[in-house]
Structure 1
Amino acid sequence: MKLLSILLSGAGAMLVAAAAPVAPVPRYHVAGHIAGPDGGGWDYVAVDVAARVLYVAHGDAVTRVDLAKRDAGRSIGTIVHGHAVVPLAHGMLLVTSGRDNSVRLIDATTGVEQAKLAVGDDPDAAAYETASGHVFVMNAHDGTISDVDPHEMKVVRTITVKPALEFAVIGRGRTLYVNNEDADEIEVVDLAAGKLVRSIALTGCEGPTGLAFDASHDRLISACANGKAAVVDTRAAKLTGLIDIGRGPDAVMLDAKRQVALIPCGRDGVLEVLSLAARSVRKVATVKTEVGARTGAIDARTGNVYLPTAAFDPPARAGGRPVARAGTFHLLVVAPA
């Protein structure tokens, strides 16, 4: 970015306001870990910045982490294969329960369930919309989206899209963007109209999962299973580039303050750091983490990144998944310098 020059005239000088310089990308490093309880597999992570609490959808419960005390000793709620956990106002959580086709509204402090709502087949990711206060739940298998009003504790409508819905983010003008893992595209949904309006092909991106919206440049960053990050211009509704990343990504975390996108790649055990400061997204660093660290969340206050993982034993059968070893679940803490 160029600073605006100081223009001089004969009688005096006029100072033209200078644009703020682009801050350098932080250098990230592994700063420790937080031990947590066993609970089976895990999926998405969310940080309640005001409460200084982190939540992990962890098997059939939610792991609650006190970030100030670095204590992850509590599991709350009862779900059936949790995917997403969304902190809401007034100390409530919405958690998607994949194997019984429900969402649960849970008291974040006591863990007491306040409501259980039926949704579509295999509820997975969920996106909170500030404007309406509603949560939109991606039902992966039947390709629908459940619009949940957590205040009224009810599903108010169902939007039909396409099967294989994955992570979703809300952009400008009540537009919802959803990765489609099987079709290798992003579905664009008009939330006001309640319908699918277009699909954006992700040519060269296979199995898109994690997704983030960079509001400063009106673009999406999608993490692909074939070791690519896809960059999409939302104004033009088209793919503009592919960036090489590690294998096994399942999240894209965006830190607007530090102008970076962070992609944990669990198969290779790395965290990819992408700079968003310019018109073109570029990879600037690869941080060694741990195998299995494929999702995570950023604490916007500190910039710390929290990645759930564990030590693994070989799969029980050929072609199966490695099994997390009992007593090894933890959150890896990656901090900016």
Structure 2
Amino acid sequence: MKKIIVAVAASLALPSGAALAQTAPYRLLHTIAVGGEGGWDYLNVDPAGERLYLSHGTQVEVVDLKTRKVIGTIPNTPNVHGIEVVPSANRGYITCGRSNTCVVFDLTTLQPIGAPIATGLKPDALLYDAFSKRVFLFSNNGGKSTVLNAATGAVEGTAELGGDIEATATDGKGHIFANVEDKSEVIEFDAKTLAVRQRHKLAPGEEPTGLGYDPKTNRLFSACHNEKLIVTDSKTGKQIAVLPIGAGVDGAVFDPSTNNVVTSNGGAGTFTVIHQDSPTTYTVVANMPTAKGARTIAIDPKSHHIFTCTANLGPTPPATTDVPRPRPSIVPGTFRVLEYGK
């Protein structure tokens, strides 16, 4: 615990991207130009197909990770949030928040398979669970999350999760974990029965978004909007550590090759890198500069490269009742992927 306190104090004393960035364990390897218009949300790496899928406004961009070129576009995905692939079924799934639907596509042709599937309100994150052979489409409005058969796309049920779901993770053994944004909780539910097994408060963390998971230590890493990372024991619900992260976080990953947790902080334009020294001890290693707006993140489990995306940003429109937290305007043609590694 003493080591955590020292690390926290050090990071709080540093401006974003300052002295800690000197020890950053990752460096920018490639910038992949995508272009086009519109905002972005989740990225997804398909290690088997060596592709990167990017949510981008009303379409999904597909990048070949061998050539680092855009090789295709999947249109007609209004307010796309997330993409998940199921290589064994040669299918991909896309959540469309504006139409409350899921688009299913062929991984080879990138063409749609059948009509869009109706979902719960505001489908956002999604997850393929190999244990149950299901795809979970998580609602960020009300918690009624649609559950699909991964091979056929047939609706198999609705998970009543009791809140607005953000990022999720699976242990591959029938347990699904999810951050509940409006309740400031992390929950566990059964992948087959859909019953909620545990609910754990994340205070002092508020409005969790990104979620990393280490199956070896059973640790959940919830990245919260109030610039805190909460470490929770997934078995007991015990809170293990609270660490500082950058502003505007919307993603977190765990890198098992380095035992690092990395959060993507779009407001600060940084990655916060936290090392898991042991299951009970964590150290902030770096607040390394990325780019403003780079708020989501994905990791390639084969190369251990880390991806984020952003664009050049213009003025921020005024807040409204419908959009209380407006994001800056986006300069057309500047959307790009940033790839980091050793």
Superposition CA RMSD, Å? 1.7
Tell me whether 1:286 sits opposite 2:292 in the alignment: no
Structure 2 residue identity aligned to 1:305: I
The secondary structure found in structure 1 opposite 2:257 is: coil
Calculate percent identity across the aligned residue pairs. 29
Task: Look up the match of 2:333.
Answer: 327
The secondary structure found in structure 1 opposite 2:250 is: coil
Task: Look up the match of 1:217.
Answer: 217
CA contact (8 A) 1:138 1:146 kept: yes
The secondary structure found in structure 1 opposite 2:251 is: coil
Displacement after TM superposition at 1:73 (Å): 5.7
The whole-number CA distance in structure 2 between the counterparts of 1:129 and 1:31 is: 31
The whole-number CA distance in structure 1 between the counterparts of 2:24 and 2:317 is: 41
CA contact (8 A) 1:46 1:55 kept: yes
CA contact (8 A) 1:37 1:73 kept: no
CA contact (8 A) 2:309 2:336 kept: yes
Structure 1 residue identity aligned to 2:223: A
The whole-number CA distance in structure 2 between the counterparts of 1:88 and 1:243 is: 34
Task: Look up the match of 2:135.
Answer: 135
CA contact (8 A) 2:128 2:150 kept: no
Between 1 and 2, higher relative CO (CA 8 Å, sep ≥ 6) is seen in 2
The whole-number CA distance in structure 2 between the counterparts of 1:173 and 1:31 is: 35
Relative to structure 1, the CA distance from residue 93 to residue 172 in structure 2 (aligned partners, 3 Å threshold; closer, same or farther) is closer
CA contact (8 A) 1:77 1:106 kept: no
The secondary structure found in structure 2 opposite 1:167 is: strand
* TM-score, scaled to structure 1: 0.88
> Which has more radius of gyration?
1
The whole-number CA distance in structure 2 between the counterparts of 1:236 and 1:266 is: 32
Task: Look up the match of 1:227.
Answer: 227
Displacement after TM superposition at 1:31 (Å): 2.3
1:1-337 alignment runs, 5 A limit: 27-72=25-70, 74-89=72-87, 90-115=89-114, 116-171=116-171, 173-279=173-279, 280-317=281-318, 320-336=326-342
The whole-number CA distance in structure 2 between the counterparts of 1:93 and 1:216 is: 28
The whole-number CA distance in structure 2 between the counterparts of 1:156 and 1:320 is: 36
Displacement after TM superposition at 1:74 (Å): 3.2
Q: CA offsets per residue over residues 198-223 of structure 1, 9 Å max, x none? A: 21000110110000111111110010
Structure 2 residue identity aligned to 1:92: R
Displacement after TM superposition at 1:304 (Å): 1.6
Q: Which structure 1 segments of 5+ residues have no match?
A: 1-24
Residue correspondences, number: 312
Q: CA offsets per residue over residues 155-204 of structure 1, 9 Å max, x none? A: 11112121211111112641111111111111221223321222100011
The whole-number CA distance in structure 1 between the counterparts of 2:193 and 2:72 is: 41
CA contact (8 A) 2:129 2:172 kept: no
CA contact (8 A) 1:269 1:291 kept: yes
Q: CA offsets per residue over residues 25-76 of structure 1, 9 Å max, x none? A: 9821122300003141111111111221100111111110111111126322
Q: Which structure 2 segments of 5+ residues have no match?
A: 1-22, 320-324
